[in-house]
Amino acid sequence: MEAGTLSVILFATLLGLLATGIWVGPVLLAVGFIAIEFFTPAPVGSLLASTVWDASWNWALTALPLFVWMGEILFRTRLSSDMFNGLAPWVVRLPGGLLHVNIVGCGVMAAVAGSSAVTCATVGRMSIPELRKRGYDESLSIGTLAGSGTLGLLIPPSIMLIVYGVLAQQSISRLFIAGVLPGILIIGIFMAYVSIHSILNPKLAPTETFNMSLIEKLKASRHLIPVIGLILCVIGSIYGGYATPTEAATVGVIGALILAWFTKTLSWASFIESLMGGVRTSCMITFILVGAAFLSVALGFTGVPKILGSYVEALNLTPGMLIVMLTILYIFLGCFLEGVSMMVLTAAVVLPMVQNAGIDLLWFGVFTVIVVEMAQITPPVGFNLFVLQGMTGRDIMSVTRASVPFFFLMLLGIFIITLVPEIVLWPVQFMLQRG
């Protein structure tokens, strides 16, 4: 059978099974099984067994459940109130005032949670009622949370970067290093937008004054010290070459438990809740990765990736045009799939194309995660939209409209790192030179 016809059949089967509501992991395994059993002479049973085993024992994956558990523990502490009270005195004088707490707070939380939904919910549960009480524009407040909450996918320790590292066989430590400056860049873009928007329309944010001395500001921020210390221990140990991501994740879990104990939020019930939450999320992601690995092997036997790659190569696309095409593809997929599924579904076809075009796979990892971030605020499957809908009580369309400007701001971030790829690659080169 022709590869083009086969790819259409497999893609239609994939969409049909997903439309029935079956979990993504079993769907990927089923499509891979169909591809090998009916369209190749390869032994499907032995391939399935060996691929599942190879994909599930990968040592890099051990960091995943630990970072997920760390985020679950911190989600159950009083970190949100400490963050709001600690950051407010430092940003209140900026145009937009306390709206910047959402942006900076999500950036800080992203550096310990690794999850978009956890980041968004942790900061939002304190800031939404506080900003509403003070008379801030609710739409802009929701938008800052929706956009900034996605930083949990980019700023290390990022679960998405771990998943990409496993898929693309790239160093997770280097991916973590590569994600820092783009994360800071997007935070800066968001803060600039809020400041300019607030200057042009002063009604969006009331003028507030915190007459506090430097000593008083530092005192108000004392509760942030343990969190900052935890970030420095986890990320600093990786950047300094003192620990692997898995070892750093272990330190993070221990630190999160100590932090929860000191804030008197660690109980046996919260411990079990955080542990089971981490297990559920980690198993879901691992199941998807195993299914994606088998589907990749199946597609390799059918020759579909090679044929599709030759089709794209025949188009004579420049690397820039390929990036534009992939951005559109990922935005479209993001309307229907969550981030991990979107990433693993496309890996088998997209990664060889990107390599052939001479695009650095570390840079492409950061690019992919930013586009996946955008998918977190695109309906109808934008997870952050659902989180904020539940927290604000607003309908999904109102939350979506509030998020639209931040979708385009992230698109601006992609444009900037495409023009200046050194934003992603220079920190990695710098650390390699030092090491």
In this predicted structure, the answer to whether residue 196 has a pLDDT above a threshold of 90 is: yes
The residue ranges of every structural domain in the chain are 3-434
In this predicted structure, the answer to whether residue 154 has a pLDDT above a threshold of 60 is: yes
> Residue 336: what pLDDT?
65
pLDDT tens for each residue of 299-347: 778 777 667 666 766 777 788 888 998 898 888 777 766 677 778 778 8
| Residue tagged 């998807």 (tokens) | 288
What is the C-alpha to C-alpha distance for residues 193 and 403, in angstroms, rounded to an integer?
13
pLDDT tens for each residue of 338-363: 677 778 778 877 888 888 888 999 99
At what angle are helices 24-39 and 44-56 packed, to 10 degrees? Answer: 140
111 versus 364: the higher-pLDDT residue is 364
> Residue 209: what pLDDT?
65
> Residue 294: what pLDDT?
85
**Average of pLDDT values for 64-89?**
81
**Average of pLDDT values for 369-382?**
79
**Average of pLDDT values for 239-264?**
86
416 versus 84: the higher-pLDDT residue is 416
> Residue 435: what pLDDT?
59
Q: Residue 400: which pLDDT band, with cuts at 50, 70 and 90?
A: confident
